[in-house]
Amino acid sequence: MSTLFSQELLISTFAIIIVPLYMLYLRSSRSKNPSVLPINWPIVGVFPYLIANFHNLHDYLAVVLAGSGHNFRAHGPPGTGLRFFITCEPANVRHIFTTNHANFPKGAEFAAIFDIAGGSFFTTEGEPWRRQRARAQRVLSNPRLLACMTACCRDKVENGLPPVLMHMASTGTTFDLQDLTTRLVFDMTATPLFGVDPGLLSSDMPPMDAAVAMDTVMEVALFRHIVPTSGWKVMRRLNIGPERKLAAAHTVLRGFIEEMMERRKRKEHAGNEGAPSVDILSSYIDDPDYQQNDGLLHATLINYMIAGRDTIGTALTWVFYNLAQNPHVVSFIRHELSPIASRKAATGANNSSTMVIFEPEETKSLVYMRAAIHESLRLHPPVPIERKTAVAHDVMPSGHVVHAGDTLLISLHSMGRMEGVWGKDCREYNTDRWLSEDGKKLRYVPSHKFLSFSSGPRLCLGKDVSFMQMNTIVAAMVWNFDVEVVEGQRVQPKMSCVLQMKNGLMVKLKKREM
C-alpha cells in the first residue's frame, strides 16, 4: 500500500472514530441550547457539525450565517486541508467575483470534485477558460442556434406538454411536477445540444437514466465539498459508498452521450444532402482539439447539460410551488397575459386546440411574471452554493482575512434569507420587491446581491435563453391550469449541489374555463 494511500486511510479512519463522539456531545448541547453556533473544536474543527446537519445543510448554513453576521470561518481535522470561509455578504461576493476575481478561481479541488466535466469551461481557469468561454459565447450567440432553441422550446410547450397535462387534468391524477419539468427541460436542453430529441417527455414516460445519473453527480459533489478530499478519494479507490454510486453514474452519462452522437450521425446520413445541422455539437465535433480528445468533448457536452437542465428544471419546480402558495400572484400574471390571449383569440393565432400557447417573443416584456420568477430564484436559487479558492492572502470588505489555500463557500441560499440584505420580510415570497413604484418596470438589483446567474467574468452566458424558456413554460401553465399542491407532503431541498426537491412535488391540475 502506498504511503499516500496509507495517510489518506489513516485520516479517514480517525475521522470515523472521533466524529461520532463529538456528535453525541452536539446532540446533548443542542437540547440545552438549540441556537448554539458551530464551534471550531480542537482536532476535528466543525466537521462534526457538517456531518450532523448534512441532511439539512442549506438551512443550517442560513442559521449559522444569520447568527454570525453573514460570515463564518471554519476548519476541519488537521491534515485534511479543510479551511473554510463561508459568506453571504454582498460586498464580499462583489470582491470575490468581480473586484479581485483573479485571486479567487474555482481551484483544483473544484475540478476534482466535478471530474466528470474536467477540462471544460465549467472547471478550468486562466487562458484555457478564456478561450473556451469565448467559444461558448460565439456558439450561444449564433442566430440560427438561438432560433433552433426557441423553436424547440415552443414545440415542446405546444406539442409535448398538452397531451400529458390534459390527461392529468381530465383524470384528476396526482403526479410529480418535478419529474415532469425534469423531462421537459432535459429534452429542451439535449435537442439543441445534439440535434436529436431524447424523447423523455412522451406518452409512455420512458426511464430517465441519464437524468438520474446527473442528479447523482450533483448529490455526490455536495458530499465531496464538505468531506476531506482524502476521505472521498479513499472511497473512490475502494469503490464504496457514494463514490460507487458516482462511478456508475459516470458510466451512464458517457453512454448517453455516445448514444446521442450515434443517433445524430444516423439522422445526418438519413437526411442526405439536406441543410447542415444546427446544434451545439456541430460547433465542436469537427475541431481537431476535440476530435483528438474524446474526454474533453464529453466533458464539454456534460457542461452544457448541467448549465441547462439542472438550473432551469430545478428553478421551474420552485416557481410553480411558490405560485401555488400565492394565488394572488397567479391572478396578477393572468391579468398581464390577458391582452395577449385576447389578441390571439381574435386573430386565430393560437395553433393548439387544447391550450393557449404564448410565443417566446410575446412573454419577453412581461414585467410581473419576470418579478415572480426572480423572487422564486431569490428564495430558491438552483445552485445554492458557489465554491472558490484563495490564491493569495486577502482582506474581505467585511474585514475578514482569508489565507492562501482557503476554500470560500458562498451561500446563495442563505443570502436570500438575510434580513440585512433583503429586509425583515426576507423569508416571504414578495414579488413587489422587484417592481418599481408604478409596477411597470423591474428594479435593478446587482448580481452580487442576486447571484442566481453568477456575477463578474463568469456571468451566465445562457441567462436570456433561460428566461425565454421559463417565461414560455410558466405562461402556458399559469394561463391554462390551476395547480394545486397536494397537502401533507414535506417539501424540502435535496442535499445536492442543485436545489431540487427531495421528494418531488406532488400536484393536481384543473383545466381553466376560458
Per residue in 435-478, pLDDT tens? 999 988 999 999 999 999 999 999 999 999 999 999 999 999 99
Beta bridge partners of 72: 86
Decide: 58 and 411 in contact? Cβ < 8 Å. Answer: yes
Beta bridge partners of 97: none
Average the pLDDT over 25-45 and give the result: 56
pLDDT at 20 over 60: no
Decide: 49 and 23 in contact? Cβ < 8 Å. Answer: no
pLDDT at 44: 66
> Is pLDDT larger for residue 310 or for residue 134?
134
Identify which of 490, 508, 506, 504 has the alpha carbon closest to the alpha carbon of residue 212: 504
> Is pLDDT larger for residue 19 or for residue 336?
336
Give the CA dihedral 366, 368, 373, 374, nearest 10 degrees: 110
pLDDT at 51 over 90: no
H or E stretch including 395?
strand 394-395
Decide: 153 and 166 in contact? Cβ < 8 Å. Answer: no
Rounded distance between C-alpha atoms, residue 174 and residue 505, angstroms: 10
Rounded distance between C-alpha atoms, residue 321 and residue 35, angstroms: 29
pLDDT at 510 over 60: yes
pLDDT at 486 over 50: yes
What are the backbone dihedrals phi and psi of residue 409, each rounded to the nearest 5 degrees, phi first?
-110, 120
> DSSP 3-state assignment of 32?
helix
> Is pLDDT larger for residue 345 or for residue 154?
154
pLDDT at 312: 92
Average the pLDDT over 278-304 and give the result: 88
Per residue in 103-153, pLDDT tens? 999 999 999 999 999 999 899 999 999 999 999 999 999 999 999 999 999
pLDDT at 394 over 50: yes
Decide: 499 and 383 in contact? Cβ < 8 Å. Answer: yes
pLDDT at 340 over 90: yes
CA atoms within 13 A on the CB side of 327: 5
pLDDT at 442: 95
> Is pLDDT larger for residue 6 or for residue 216?
216
Rounded distance between C-alpha atoms, residue 456 and residue 477, angstroms: 33
Query: Could you tell me the strand order of the sheet in which 481-485 lies?
Result: 175-176, 506-511, 481-485
Rounded distance between C-alpha atoms, residue 113 and residue 111, angstroms: 5
Rounded distance between C-alpha atoms, residue 370 and residue 360, angstroms: 13
Decide: 154 and 360 in contact? Cβ < 8 Å. Answer: yes
pLDDT at 42: 67
Residue 148 counted as an annotated binding residue: no
pLDDT at 274: 52
Question: Would you state the cell numbers that stand for residue 175, as one nine-digit string?
Answer: 403526479
Identify which of 270, 339, 255 has the alpha carbon closest to the alpha carbon of residue 301: 255
Identify which of 332, 59, 113, 107 has the alpha carbon closest to the alpha carbon of residue 232: 113
Least confident of 27-31, 44-48, 49-53, 100-104: 27-31
Decide: 457 and 94 in contact? Cβ < 8 Å. Answer: no
Homologous superfamily (CATH) of 3-511 is: Cytochrome P450 (1.10.630.10)
What is this structure's pTM?
0.90
Per residue in 22-31, pLDDT tens? 444 444 454 4
pLDDT band, residue 412 (cuts 50/70/90): very high
- The number of beta carbons lying within 10 Å of the beta carbon of residue 417 is 21
> Is pLDDT larger for residue 99 or for residue 39?
99
Question: Would you state the cell numbers that stand for residue 251, as one nine-digit string?
Answer: 458510466
Q: Report percent pLDDT > 90 for the chain.
A: 73
Average pLDDT, the chain: 88
Average the pLDDT over 3-12 and give the result: 42
- The number of beta carbons lying within 10 Å of the beta carbon of residue 86 is 21
Query: Could you tell me the strand order of the sheet in which 83-87 lies?
Result: 71-75, 83-87, 407-411, 385-389
pLDDT at 275: 52
> Is pLDDT larger for residue 203 or for residue 18?
203
> Is pLDDT larger for residue 31 or for residue 228?
228
> Is pLDDT larger for residue 345 or for residue 147?
147
Decide: 340 and 357 in contact? Cβ < 8 Å. Answer: no
> Is pLDDT larger for residue 512 or for residue 28?
512
Most confident option among 33-47, 224-238, 268-282, 347-361: 224-238
Residue type, 254: R
Which residues lie closer than 8 Å to 411 by C-beta, 6 or more apart?
Answer: 58, 61, 62, 65, 86, 87, 88, 384, 385
- The number of beta carbons lying within 10 Å of the beta carbon of residue 170 is 11
Domain boundaries, the chain: 3-511
